[in-house]
Copies of this chain bind each other. A is one copy, B any other.
């Protein structure tokens, strides 16, 4: 009845649990059956009593067996019928942006995530992360205390020190941590906007942001994004026409185009912000991947009109969800209050983890390594996609994304749907345009886009390249 393997990498405790679960599920151990005593089972399988106690404890916790005082362990009765509603019956999200974000985070190892916004898991700090856990476990830090709502002081000091290295004058008091950049955008929208406000966004731009802003019932005003930054004439015209409350922009490694704005654009954006009195939200979640001397809006402006948003989810790992806002202290005080009323506080375990990663040389090396690797894969992915018929602008761009055009005449919606049946996840360009443009475009994650099944699929589906 109990065939356990000592050579297996599966711990004995787990083997016992799995075996008993199986026997119960198959009906060989019906409800009410008494299980062997701890001592007896231990002898039977040649394990220690401690191992058996651990296994029985787990099975009790799972509700599969129950202990009756002085009488031993018994297969538990299932108290109520199995729930009628299966996970699969979950209604699909009507919102395509939410659906795409959800697909990007699903654990489907058999999918080619060409439309995903994440680095591959094995690129992240996976290998190093176990070491970070060990250090956290042994360290003098207290990952179990409640987290001050503004964020762990030590982490906020590290973030401020990094901003100072970028030439941005910020202290720990100018920082509030968030669950990723997403929460930063949500908290900012709650503070800055009232329904009907005009808000400028880049077109194309980050699709989840658009939905977040729409949920606050603001009017999205698209500003075309060029290879050297937002289109300045269109920006000025939009300011005159709409008197916006804010402009959300990515100075470096713009999602989806991979372009970076130059210093002249930064200066002009800030002049317009001053003239028309709007806030500039600088989304810098990819900035660490920028090669060379970068100019950021926050550096020129000094956190007066600029609200700077950063995140470690992209580079340390999406499992962590640690981002932050750097801003004027008055705004930080408002954000803090709003954060307390939304989630009470951050997680000390997550913030200690990021703090520990930043503290070592690990993060710097990881960023440099990732940057070089992305540049290499970017060239390969672009060549492979071009060979399959995808068209690109001449400007190279950099970072995680390639923004490519499907030749006219190929119906993109059908292509995306068809791709999914072949286990290939594509990101429709239309999602990245709040104005409903970009219908012929797709966003590609460079780390997955030289993949043979993708290239083959595109080659089959697209009209022959010239």
Contacts and interface: CB of A to CB of B under 8 A. Distances in A.
Interface of A: 10, 14, 53-54, 56-58, 60-63, 78-91, 93, 95, 98, 101-102, 104-107, 118, 121, 124-126, 129-130, 133-134, 136-138, 140, 142-150, 153, 158, 160-162, 164-165, 167, 169-174, 179-180, 182-183, 186, 208, 211-212, 215, 317-321, 329-330, 332-333, 336-338, 340-350, 353, 358-365
A106 to B, nearest CB: 6
Contacts of A346: 321
Nearest to A87: B173
Given A61-B361, A62-B158, A63-B162, 20 more contacts: A57-B362, A61-B360, A62-B359, A78-B164, A80-B167, A83-B170, A83-B171, A87-B171, A90-B173, A93-B336, A95-B337, A102-B336, A107-B146, A121-B142, A121-B144, A129-B144, A147-B319, A147-B321, A212-B342, A215-B338
A101 B340 contact: yes
Given A63-B165, A118-B146, A173-B89, A319 B215 contact: no
A333 B91 contact: yes
> Which among A146, A148, A164, A167 has the highest number of chain B CB atoms within 10 Å?
A146
Contacts of A319: 143-147, 347-349
Contacts of A167: 79-80
19 contacts: A57-B365, A62-B158, A63-B162, A80-B167, A83-B164, A83-B169, A83-B173, A85-B174, A86-B173, A87-B153, A91-B333, A102-B340, A105-B147, A121-B145, A124-B144, A133-B133, A146-B318, A180-B344, A183-B344
B61 A359 contact: yes
B54 A329 contact: no
> Which among A81, A104, A321 has the highest number of chain B CB atoms within 10 Å?
A321
Ranked 10 nearest A-B pairs via Cβ: A57-B361, A83-B171, A319-B348, A87-B173, A182-B344, A146-B318, A105-B146, A179-B343, A130-B137, A321-B347
Given A105-B147, A342-B183, A61 B364 contact: yes
A91 B61 contact: no
A104 B164 contact: no
Contact of A350 (B14, B79, B347): B347
Contacts of A318: 145-147, 345, 348
Contacts of A329: 85, 89-91
Given A61-B358, A173-B85, A336-B93, A341 B164 contact: no
Contacts of A341: 98, 182, 186, 208, 211-212, 215
Nearest to A94: B337
Given A91-B330, A144-B124, A344 B321 contact: yes
A364 B146 contact: no
A149 B361 contact: no
A93 B130 contact: no
A255 to B, nearest CB: 14
Contacts of A211: 341
A348 B169 CA distance: 33
Contacts of A84: 169
A89 B333 CA distance: 11
A349 B320 contact: yes
Contact of A164 (B80, B186, B321, B347): B80
A112 to B, nearest CB: 16
Nearest to A59: B361
Contact of A161 (B63, B95, B153, B344): B63
Contacts of A57: 360-362, 364-365
A95 B149 CA distance: 14
Contacts of A330: 91
